[in-house]
Amino acid sequence: MKYAENILETIGNTPLVKMNKLTVELPCLVLAKYETFNPGNSVKDRMALQIVEDAEEAGHLKPGGTIVEGTSGNTGMGLALAAIVKGYRLICVISDKQSQEKIDILKAMGAEVHVCPTDVAPEDPRSYYSTARRLAEEIPGAWYVNQYDNLSNTKAHFLSTGPEIWEQTDGKITHFVVGVGTGGTVSGVGKFLKSKNPDIKVWGVDTYGSVFKKYHETGIFDENEIYPYTTEGIGEDILPKNVNFDIIDGFTKVTDKDAALYTQRLAREEGFFLGNSAGAAIKGLLQLKDNFSEDDVVVVLFHDHGSRYVGKMFNEAWMRKQGFVE
């Protein structure tokens, strides 16, 4: 008989799916790394498990301990799976711009959820960064994950996602395109792929209101670049240690409106029911079309599932309220 010992053993080995309609004007083959096939429906399952196992090995996380993390939702889900199987308490701190579905799903998985304001500086005691750190310090036996600076995040993708993409494309991949948030995926996958073939190009997709693109191009952390945005899962107002800018060949920025509209189009034209960052990723890829030729094999990674955005990008009233549709 063939079966997994627990849900954690089903993480990884997600499929590559050819894109057909949205990429028809591109000369190259475009393949989607479809991460919603992970049990928590996102790429974050990979790093959540790696981070927990590394913390156990290092002695940071003791039996019966408490995991504390600031999350946009998906890392929290991955941590919830690990916490359930391994017997930990989980506290997730989330910003109020995230969808209600994400909050409800975390609660459904047994996590305690604290909601913090989005429009405050990272060092503000009300921010979800500061709140997560404070809770980890106050609660006995608690351990703060810190997915932004915990390099087990990048390690997970160097060990699993990168090798999968290399093997699935038979080493023919020429470009990797992905939305950048904590930086673990782009840095881990990019590092592995470039170790196999230094000519592979790694492109990051950023959002307006985030500092990544300008910092990559100028080395300047420009606070004038920072302002609120609705796109979820990508962009930052900090520089996470997991973002290895030396691995990334360039960034392209996508507007909130385009990210939302292309999230809808992925569902309606490709049958890809995906999250908001996927809309940004495919629009970013289309913006990069001049970089591709007919012999290229482009892999774009899609992070999470559309079920977490039913009240937002898949809700016409919300889309109208944002001014994204007439």
Domain boundaries, the chain: 7-37+157-321, 44-144
| pLDDT for residue 97 | 80
Hey, do 7-37+157-321 and 44-144 end up sharing a CATH topology, with the first three levels equal? yes
- The beta strand positions in 137-264, using DSSP E, are 142-144, 175-179, 201-207, 250-254
pTM of this structure: 0.94
Once rounded to an integer, what is the mean pLDDT over residues 294-316? 96
> In angstroms, how far is CA 141 from the centroid of its own chain?
28
44-144: CATH class: alpha beta
The dihedral built from the CA positions of residue 149, 150, 151 and 153, taken in this order, carries a sign that is negative
* Known active-site residue 44: yes
Percent of the chain with pLDDT over 90: 91
Q: Encoding tokens for residue 83?
A: 């916490």
Hey, what CATH class is 7-37+157-321 in?
alpha beta
Contact assessment for residue 93 and residue 71, using Cβ atoms and an 8 Å cutoff: yes
> Given this model, what pLDDT does residue 244 score?
98
What are the φ and ψ backbone dihedral angles of 298, each rounded to 5 degrees?
A: -105, 125
Q: What single-letter amino acid sits at 51?
A: I
Burial degree of 269 (CB within 10 A; 0-12, 13-18, 19+): middle
Residue carrying structure tokens 């970089």: 291
Cβ neighbors of 290 (< 8 A, separation 6 or more) are: none
Structure tokens at 295: 């012999």
Mean of all residue pLDDT scores within the chain: 96
**62-94 confidence digits (pLDDT tens):** 999 999 998 878 999 999 999 999 999 999 999
Cβ neighbours around 3 below 10 Å, total: 6
Q: Quick check: 119 pLDDT over 90?
A: no
* Cβ neighbours around 9 below 10 Å, total: 12
Q: What is the pLDDT of residues 277-302, one digit of tens each?
A: 999 999 999 999 999 999 999 999 99
Q: How far is CA 244 from CA 28, 91, 180, 247, 304, in A?
A: 27, 28, 11, 6, 22
Query: Of the residues 33, 44, 102, 155, which is catalytic?
Result: 44
